[in-house]
Amino acid sequence: MKQYDYLIVGSGLFGSVFAYKAAQQGKKCLVIDKRSHLGGNIFCEEVEGINVHKYGAHIFHTSNKQVWDFVNSIVEFNRYTNSPIANYKGKLYNLPFNMNTFYQMWGVATPSDAMKIIKRQKNEAVTLLNGKEPQNLEEQALLLVGRDIYERLIKGYTEKQWGRKCTELPAFIIKRLPVRLIFDNNYFNDKYQGIPIGGYNKLIKGLLTGVKTMVNTNFFEERACWERIADKIVFTGKIDEYYNYCFGKLEYRTVRFEEEVHDCSNYQGNAVVNYTEAEVPYTRIIEHKHFEMFGTEIDKCSKTVVSKEYSTEWQPGMEPYYPVNDEKNSTLYIQYKKLADEEDNVIFGGRLAEYKYYDMHNIVEKVLKYF
């Protein structure tokens, strides 16, 4: 008999929720992670009394009540509402694109006046296409929102994020852009959103209570041993690495962070500020205290922590973040997926194992459906 029912490789959200649900069914699980901490990319570190999102901002949002009730059964979530700001050459714009944005950009105060400008610019894009379908991200964006919004709020940010010109990126990346003709800065349309009270580490701790875990443990360093220890493997790492890159390496984008502690209670007045001009090297600045401190609570903490995010091409030794879902990489992933589908004793789950960008609620929903 094997020592465990499941060996779970990776303690991020997929692995942790899977371990929780399996343990509820009486299954014996071992969770291993190559990092020095549990939680994957939602891990937080306390700095100056503030929970710092070490791998970028994570905001939980969903319209699925079952998912929302599930995560709140582990730890209560607060009322944080994601309302990012865009900074273009020192001028601020509300996101997502809504009447506040259009007022800031054109001085229009009514939906009809805003739509007149948007329609005129969209028609200019249609004329340029001359009956053709959009062939790249730039053409698609111009068709959706027009030149002003594209030039100021999309182009520079997107090119920094992907490390490629918008004319070189596929159109499907930006098939939809929300345009709201109301004064509403709530970024998400979902019914529920928030941050775990006390930070994401409390969520992971709650999910993994009673489950054996090991950190600083690399599955690939003693692979033969790990493969013998459990009836099934739940693998949440890179699928191409699992198959020893037999078809070649998949590409990723990654993020580098510059963390700063400031001797003030409030640095930028918002959790997320995007810098959309190409000349600013970072994509955004995150001020972490705003995820969990509201109103007078902000001033009670005399210091604040910010992170500048720099998007770059992934190289071995870096943390892979975002799959590059262009035609070349999608074709390569399909080859790995065929191998994965033939596995009887391995479950592949999460953004790296499925080479797909997931929001957190999608991951939780996927695991709940599995069980």
253 labelled catalytic: yes
256 is catalytic: no
As given in the structure block, the two tokens for residue 1 are 């008999």
Q: How far apart are CA 160 and CA 164, in angstroms?
A: 7
**147 counts as catalytic:** no
Residues contacting residue 9 through CB under 8 Å, at least 6 positions apart: 15, 32, 219, 226, 233, 234, 235, 236, 237
Whether 93 sits among the annotated catalytic residues: the reply is no
How far is 202 from 193, CA to CA, in rounded Å?
17
Q: Give start and end residues of each alpha helix (H) in 57-172.
A: 65-74, 99-106, 111-129, 137-145, 147-149, 155-162
Q: Cα 67 to the chain's mean position, in Å?
A: 17
Annotated active-site residue in 6, 80, 252, 253: 253
Q: Which of 176, 221, 342, 344 is catalytic?
A: 176
* 35: annotated active-site residue: no
DSSP state of 252: E
Given the residues 309, 333, 354, 365, select the one marked as catalytic: 309
Q: Which of 89, 88, 90, 109 is nearest to 98 (CA)?
A: 109
Q: Taking the CB of residue 227, how many other CB atoms lie within 10 A of it?
A: 13
> Which residues neighbour 329 within 8 Å (Cβ) at sequence distance 6 or greater?
250, 251, 323, 355
Catalytic residue at 359? yes
Residue 32, sorted as left (phi over 0), alpha (psi -120 to 50) or beta, turns out to be beta
Q: How far, in Å, CA of 194 to CA of 188, rounded? A: 11
R_g of the chain computed on alpha carbons: 22
180 is known as an active-site residue: yes
Catalytic residue among 227, 243, 260, 357: 357
**Of 93, 152, 159, 180, which one is the catalytic site residue?**
180
Q: CA 70 → CA 17, 74, 75, 182, 187, distances in Å? A: 10, 7, 9, 32, 23
The C-alpha torsion from 258 through 263 and 269 to 275, rounded to 10°, is -30
Give me the catalytic one of 4, 80, 284, 321: 284
Tell me how far apart the 2 most distant CA atoms of the chain are, in Å: 71
Please say whether the dihedral angle defined by the alpha carbons of residues 80, 86, 92 and 96, taken in this order, is positive or negative: negative
DSSP class of residue 196 equals: B
Catalytic positions: 176, 180, 253, 284, 309, 357, 359
